[in-house]
Amino acid sequence: MKIAVYLADQNPHRDRTIGVTNYTRCLLSGLVNKKDISLSTLVSASSYFFVGKDVDERRLPWRTDNNFFRLATDNLSAPVMDSMKTDIAYYPKGYVSYLMRPRCPVVGTVHDTILQFYADHYPHFRSRMDLVYWIGLMKSSIRKFDMILADSVSGRDQIFEFCARYKIIAPPVRVTYAASDYEDVEIRQNTKKNYVLHFASLAPHKNTKALMDLWSLMSQEKSNWPELKLIGSASAVGEFLEIPGVSHLPYLKNDELGAVMQEARAILIPSAIEGFGLPALEGYYHGTPVCFVRGTSVEEILSGFTTKGGFVLDDPGSFKQALDDVLGMSFEEILQVRDGLRKKFSKNNFVEAVAMALHDAKSARENIK
């Protein structure tokens, strides 16, 4: 089976969705080793590209990290995908052209419906034109997909709710839990330092401000709490650095980030909505437990392995209890959670599930013929 992967829409140096590129890298590095699969990719002069043995790369001579060429390429790329003589066209970012789709079966990973969440709750964070375009493209793409991959049951339910809202008949939606290249990282008990970590963001669903309001309130009542380190842009963290015990780290390279994660006593994830919640998985892979908002996909991912760390965002007592619980976890307890997560969300399971879904989408189209 030959799979053509559309990567021209991934420009991680300017995208809001860097996590999608990490997802793509992890997936393609597994698919490229499967003997019954051959990969081809369509990239631009600026986009993410995957380096792998025997990968047939088509590189467009222009950049797609500006709006005009990005949108033009997205909407006119189907004939190029067709020219790659592929069995499956795969879109890991979840969007297909407004205008046309490749003639072969088309599969995409729809990671979440956060744009609809913004339109409902934070309509001024993105321009009206932005929301109209991208929500419209999501509706159009769902109609064009032969199969959709979702990162979690929570993500699948978001897709179904979106389809019901706009009266779209959804294609088959398959849950293929994501994985992380960090699954084999070596961890040591004696690395911990007295701080917790939060990936700060201006994106409203990440709830950085709500978390900092909680932290400011709780730190006044509990002076022996650890230091809070914020990773993110200066604009995302600037107003919070006046809070005692709060410091800032710039964006870090992967090896530096891994060391910081492993040295932290906990990672705080106050997101209101996620498709999967990869930082929670990667936290435990580094031997670091996480605090998370209940009712999200993060709770789904961790359920069955631990009940500790869940809190209600507008309940200070709930947050205090959640942080106390994870700070009190023993190294052995953290390892037990880590081992369970590594088994269920292994890279091998992820790659096999996606490969099976792509095979099934191809077979379904052949059966119709």
368 falls in which pLDDT band (50, 70, 90)? low
Please check the confidence at residue 223 and state whether its pLDDT lies above 70.
no
46 falls in which pLDDT band (50, 70, 90)? very high
Give residue 252's pLDDT: 81
**pLDDT tens, 96-129?**
999 999 999 999 999 999 999 999 999 999 999 9
15 falls in which pLDDT band (50, 70, 90)? low
**pLDDT tens, 298-336?**
999 999 899 999 999 989 999 999 999 999 999 999 999
369 falls in which pLDDT band (50, 70, 90)? low
Token pair of 137 as six digits: 């493209």
Of the ranges 139-148, 238-247, 276-285, which one carries the lowest mean pLDDT score? 238-247
Of the ranges 82-86, 262-266, 361-365, which one carries the lowest mean pLDDT score? 361-365
pLDDT more than 90, % of the chain: 82
Token pair of 319 as six digits: 């947050």
Average pLDDT over residues 252-267: 91
The residues with which 274 forms a beta bridge, in sequence order, are: none
The superfamily CATH assigns to domain 184-344 is: Glycogen Phosphorylase B; (3.40.50.2000)
- Other C-beta atoms closer than 10 Å to the C-beta of 188 total 9
Please check the confidence at residue 174 and state whether its pLDDT lies above 70.
yes
Burial of residue 127 (CB within 10 Å: 0-12, 13-18, 19+) is exposed
Architecture of domain 2-179+347-364: 3-Layer(aba) Sandwich (3.40)
Give residue 308's pLDDT: 97
Separation in Å, CA 306 to CA 96, 191, 278, 326: 38, 22, 16, 10
Please check the confidence at residue 251 and state whether its pLDDT lies above 80.
no
Give residue 13's pLDDT: 78
Which amino acid, residue 20? V
Supply the mean pLDDT for the chain. Answer: 93
Please check the confidence at residue 179 and state whether its pLDDT lies above 90.
yes
- Is residue 40 within 8 Å of 125, Cβ to Cβ? no
Give residue 198's pLDDT: 96
Give residue 172's pLDDT: 97
Domain ranges within the chain, ordered by starting residue: 2-179+347-364, 184-344
Separation in Å, CA 167 to CA 16, 65, 161, 170, 181: 28, 33, 10, 9, 38
**Whether the model pTM is above 0.75:** yes
Which amino acid, residue 163? C
Q: How far apart are CA 267 and CA 287, in angstroms?
A: 11
Q: Do domains 2-179+347-364 and 184-344 have the same CATH topology?
A: yes
Alpha helices in the chain (DSSP H): 18-31, 67-76, 78-83, 114-121, 128-144, 153-165, 208-221, 234-237, 254-263, 278-285, 297-302, 316-327, 331-344, 347-368
Supply the Cα-derived Rg of the chain in whole angstroms.
21
What does the DSSP 8-state code read for residue 310?
E
Give residue 17's pLDDT: 67
Give residue 238's pLDDT: 85
